[in-house]
Amino acid sequence: MKKIIFWFVLVGMTALFAEAGAAFVLFHSGSLRSKQVYIIDYSDGSSALVQLGKKVLRRASLLQRGGALHTVSVSSDPSPLYIYDETLGYTIAPGLYRVSLTNLREEPPDLYKFWATVEPNGSRATSHVPHCAERTVWVFGDSVVWGWGNNDEQTFPWLLQARYPHTRFINNAQNGYGTIHALVQLRSLAGRIDADDLIIVGYQSYLNRRNVASPSRLRAIDTARWSVHDAERARHPYGVLEDGRLRIEFVGLSCASNDGWCDQPDPPEDEMVAVSKAIFAEIRALTDATLVVAYMEGEDDDPVIAFLREQNVPVADARPNARVYQVDDFEPFDSHPGPLAQYHYHRKIAQFLEENDYLDRSAAGSAATGLRAAGEPRPPCDVDAGAYR
């Protein structure tokens, strides 16, 4: 009889601890992923342990269907989001897009949406109406600069445009681009860029892999299942150094269409860094406009940033400070920087531009700022300015 009681108590205590542990995991699973705490529902008679088991099985099913990266589905209206582009390999067609991110890890799935406006010239909108000014700031970069996950009004180029209404900002960034894409764009745009314009190129250390179209980068694009119209023709540019000179080639964006490119190992780190340095050197030499590099993410001792500073290229350290909560994201939907981070990008870049007299918030015009004096006529608006085609 004592043994029966002992085993009964042991089983009961084990079940109680298991239930408490499952409830603890469920309760905190949301907060660990920046969501509200999980509310345990006992109305259907199931325990926390059973509900945890269902979540684990659902997650395992998602992994079996294609891996952790596929637990968030991306769609757009209109669709597809990306199209083939003869110059850059791929881009987004002009239009107003409603982009939806669906978190398949939840039942029913959670949904997040944002709006993005792509202008006729291919740039992302920086204001609600066409903005004309005597001076232009040309902005280039990847999805962080483009503002993936953020509505138009939340992106830092939009905030800079609002801060400096007497200067035109053109956001030529694009999702998935590297510095190599900025060079391709600037080769086409160089004739339109005036000496008193500004060029801002966003840089993060991970762009070095994109600048050589590393196999790991293209595999990541494949894994993310990008929706590209005419995907077989979509391409990715990459830089090659021959006798110290930079040459740009293209490779198929999809691993299924690039003849085994994705099966190769990545180039050595020093080779990728050397290509990035050469890209920036050519960008600087293309025009007489001032080049400012916005350092968005990376270590203090980044070799490309060190090179730029050695070459006296202005570097604006726009990296948000996570210790004082300057960084947010869209988890569990996406890890891209959110509106808070975009605000601090804008603030840090603006502070750098003003401290170095590259831009002025005053309404008075001057040769140094490129702003028009009161009563000075507004120049005609070139709606195609910024187009790389």
| Predicted local distance difference test score (pLDDT) of residue 125 | 98
Domain end, chosen from 22, 45, 65, is at: 65
**Tokens 């001057």, residue located:** 366
Closest CA to 384 of 130, 194, 160, 134: 130
Whether residue 154 sits in one domain with residue 24:
no
Distance CA 58, CA 62 (A): 6
Between the CA of residue 139 and those of 49, 277, 370, what are the distances in Å?
Answer: 52, 19, 17
| Predicted local distance difference test score (pLDDT) of residue 377 | 43
- What is the side-by-side order of every strand in the sheet holding 110-118? 72-77, 95-103, 110-118
Whether residue 142 sits in one domain with residue 22:
no
68 three-class SS: helix
Whether residue 222 sits in one domain with residue 295:
yes
| Predicted local distance difference test score (pLDDT) of residue 210 | 98
Q: Please report whether residue 9 resides in a domain.
A: yes
| Predicted local distance difference test score (pLDDT) of residue 374 | 37
Q: Which domain holds residue 7?
A: 2-65
Distance CA 313, CA 305 (A): 9
Q: Let me know: does 106 contact 267? Beta carbons within 8 Å.
A: no
Q: Could you tell me the mean pLDDT of each successive run of 10 residues in the chain, 389 residues long?
A: 75 74 62 42 59 57 46 92 97 98 83 97 96 93 98 99 97 99 98 97 98 97 84 95 96 94 97 99 98 98 99 98 88 95 98 96 47 42 54
How many domains does the structure of the chain reveal? Answer: 2
Q: Please report whether residue 136 resides in a domain.
A: yes
Q: Please report whether residue 328 resides in a domain.
A: yes
Whether residue 223 sits in one domain with residue 338:
yes
Q: Please report whether residue 91 resides in a domain.
A: no
Q: Please report whether residue 105 resides in a domain.
A: no
Closest CA to 347 of 326, 325, 329, 328: 326
Distance CA 279, CA 282 (A): 5
Give the residues across from 170 on adjacent strands: 138
Distance CA 161, CA 291 (A): 18
Whether residue 146 sits in one domain with residue 29:
no
Q: Please report whether residue 296 resides in a domain.
A: yes
Whether residue 139 sits in one domain with residue 42:
no
Whether residue 197 sits in one domain with residue 129:
yes
**Tokens 């080049």, residue located:** 291
Q: Indicate the pTM of the whole model.
A: 0.79
Whether residue 279 sits in one domain with residue 182:
yes
Burial 150-160 (b: 16+ CB within 10 A, else e): bebbbbbbbbb
- The percent helix, strand, coil of the chain (3-state, each to 5) is 40, 20, 40
Whether residue 130 sits in one domain with residue 60:
no
Q: Please report whether residue 379 resides in a domain.
A: no
Q: Please report whether residue 380 resides in a domain.
A: no
| Predicted local distance difference test score (pLDDT) of residue 64 | 47
Q: Let me know: does 178 contact 210? Beta carbons within 8 Å.
A: yes
| Predicted local distance difference test score (pLDDT) of residue 361 | 76
The CATH number linked to 275 is 3.40.50.1110
Whether residue 269 sits in one domain with residue 135:
yes
